[in-house]
Structure 1
């Protein structure tokens, strides 16, 4: 069924595959802001995020023949941006939080009540103060919607490490928010 969401912008993608620069620019315009926001959540440095987004689009357009509509173009591009952002952090050799290979038994999530703008700002500020390893897990799991299996693939860690790091990151985030 061609009306499925994964075929969103199919005309632009197919035109871009055949070298249509106008179609490429239109795809760029459609996705650049979202991809920049994703990269900023990981890197926190405007210039680095801009560079990663530009490199991601260049790579995406060079490899469009590999895009087979198994997902939406946006999801495929998002994966490129996330991988490039993480690789950028690895190259910079930023210190990562230690990860132990034991699993935690997680309790049920606390049900959220009405959240106002100040609480959202506190959470955003708290995420920014997390160690980079914790920040990556929180961004991938909560903001990007990755599951622990996907996170383990992206970061090159075990699924149980992803779960334990998420648990620790969440605990640390609550501590930080309570001090704000």
Structure 2
């Protein structure tokens, strides 16, 4: 079943490369909702996420001739969406404070979340994430929701790996504080 699904997507990409607007629309239909969610988790604003989505698909369709299908179209478009989202944040002058190693060790020694804290409903956590400072939310989203490691996040955001780790740990701590304030944590 999965092979048929993958073959269909490869076929759609091939048809798009040949100029089929119907195939382009079908690819958009298949991936738009998931990619909007990716953009929204990073930029935190629906209107901006919609803009990122449209610009990302325009980029993808304009550069489709360069897509060599060494990966799936979904992974390729996701990378475009993530990069566009990060560029938007850079335009907003995203500021992440670089930390030295000693400060990083002090933060790493603190217990931020235990396993029970991670059992909260996704909706409550997502709402709390919206209240995080932008830098925290971006790193947390890229790490937990998009699956990037700290080295990759550092490259994407043009920060050090340690800064990514620091922002992630601070984001988790702040998220815990927000959930406690809202009465979600016992």
TM-score (norm 1): 0.86
How far is the alpha carbon of 1:40 from its aligned partner?
1.2
Task: Tell me the residue number matched to 1:101.
Answer: 100
Q: 1:175 aligns with which of 171, 174, 177?
A: 177
Gaps of 5+ in 1: none
Q: Mark the CA change 1:109 to 1:70 in structure 2 (over 3 Å): closer, same or farther.
A: farther
Instruction: Kindly report which structure 2 residues correspond to 1:1-180, keeping only aligned pairs within 5 A, or say none.
Output: 3=3, 9-93=9-93, 95-102=94-101, 103-104=104-105, 105=108, 110-112=114-116, 115=119, 119-180=121-182
Instruction: Verify the 8 A CA contact 2:96 2:135 in the aligned structure 1.
Output: yes
How far is the alpha carbon of 1:115 from its aligned partner?
3.7
Kindly provide the CA deviation profile for residues 30-71 of structure 1, in whole angstroms up to 9, marking residues without a partner as x: 001111111111222222111110000000011112222232
Equivalent-residue separation in structure 2 for 1:146 and 1:74 (angstroms): 16
Equivalent-residue separation in structure 1 for 2:171 and 2:59 (angstroms): 32
Secondary structure of the residue that 2:30 maps to in structure 1? helix
How far is the alpha carbon of 1:6 from its aligned partner?
7.0
How far is the alpha carbon of 1:15 from its aligned partner?
1.0
How far is the alpha carbon of 1:99 from its aligned partner?
3.2
Instruction: Verify the 8 A CA contact 2:130 2:137 in the aligned structure 1.
Output: yes
Q: Mark the CA change 1:97 to 1:122 in structure 2 (over 3 Å): closer, same or farther.
A: farther
> How many matched pairs?
175
Instruction: Verify the 8 A CA contact 1:8 1:73 in the aligned structure 2.
Output: no
Instruction: Verify the 8 A CA contact 2:43 2:138 in the aligned structure 1.
Output: no
Instruction: Verify the 8 A CA contact 2:113 2:172 in the aligned structure 1.
Output: no
Q: Mark the CA change 1:114 to 1:41 in structure 2 (over 3 Å): closer, same or farther.
A: closer
